[in-house]
Amino acid sequence: MNYFRLLLAAAALSLPVAPAVAAAKPAPVETAAPAEAPETAEHFLGSLKQKTGTVTLPGDIATLKLNDEFYYLDPADTERLLTDGWGNPPGLKTLGMIVPKAVSPLSERGWGVIVSYKADGHISDEDAAKIDYTELLKQMQEEDVEDNKARQKQGYAGLHLLGWAEPPHYDDTTHKMYWARELKADDAKQTTLNYSIRVLGREGVLELNAVAGMSDLATIKQELPKVLAFTNFTDGNLYTDFNPKTDKLATYGLAALVAGGIAAKAGLFAKIGIFLLAAKKFLVIGVVALLAGVRKLFNRNKA
């Protein structure tokens, strides 16, 4: 179902039709098949299967012990929200999404945490205390110049890393890391917050990415530690379960993880996901406005 087409069609069908010539004989009334009702935001959200409590992610790789403030959407419903609700192109593969109950994901202030997994191997944290994140930021910004040239050739607006909204932090006890970047697209008026959590595992890393406006930074900083706490690998997949004799070792460390891992070498394609997700904060405003307009139109015609 095309969410935007249904809404636009509903608006068009609600417009007054010009009367026929007065002398014309009325045509016989035909009974038409009932038109499909437009999908409202409430109906769309109600169709999403919200899971609460303890959730095991696909592949039994990890668990989410959700508190009462969040619910989980499986990969299928996550794609529906990303495409039909937020306007992103389809195809982003995920393990699902963590969504706060306090705010609708279709509202301007709505946000969610997209979960994915990369089986790149066991990432060594030996360099954790040696990384200069100020210097790393400069390198990432320099790479943006070339990346944006390629992006523009592909028809995308430039996307710029303005700085750390939250510098990288690594906990060598839980083997969890988080940081936040402030991004700005050439065709956007406001900047976007990309908040990242990484949970290191036996042979891969869980990626949790939250996207919101910079005005939501205080909220995200308050809520993300809760997500960080209830997300953990299952037994057998823990960081400490690594067996150097049998398990795969990643070819990069924590610095490259922050910069984008092995995929960072691909430049444009390594950041396409961030770009598409960042677009959400600008698209969702249009969705809400369109819904409001359709509702007003329906109410006026009923009066």
Residue 217 has what pLDDT?
86
Task: Tell me the percentage of the chain whose pLDDT exceeds 70.
Answer: 73
The pTM (predicted TM-score) of the whole model is: 0.73
* Residue 75 in this model has a pLDDT that exceeds 70: yes
Q: Can you give the residue ranges of every domain in the chain? A: 47-287
Q: Please state, rounded to an integer, the average pLDDT across all residues of the chain.
A: 78
The answer to whether 45 touches 34, Cβ cutoff 8 Å, is no
Fold of 47-287: Protein Transport Mog1p; Chain A (3.40.1000)
Residue 42 has what pLDDT?
87
Average pLDDT over residues 51-71: 98
54-56: strand order across its sheet: 54-56, 62-65, 231-233
CA 72 from centroid of its chain's CA atoms: 13
| Rounded Cα–Cα distance for residues 105 and 109 (Å) | 8
* Residue 296 in this model has a pLDDT that exceeds 50: no
The answer to whether 118 touches 250, Cβ cutoff 8 Å, is no
Task: Give the residue, 220 or 275, on which the prediction is more confident.
Answer: 220
Read off the pLDDT band of 38 (50, 70, 90).
low
The answer to whether 230 touches 55, Cβ cutoff 8 Å, is no
Choose the most confident range, by mean pLDDT, from 121-125, 265-269, 292-296: 121-125
Residue 153 has what pLDDT?
84
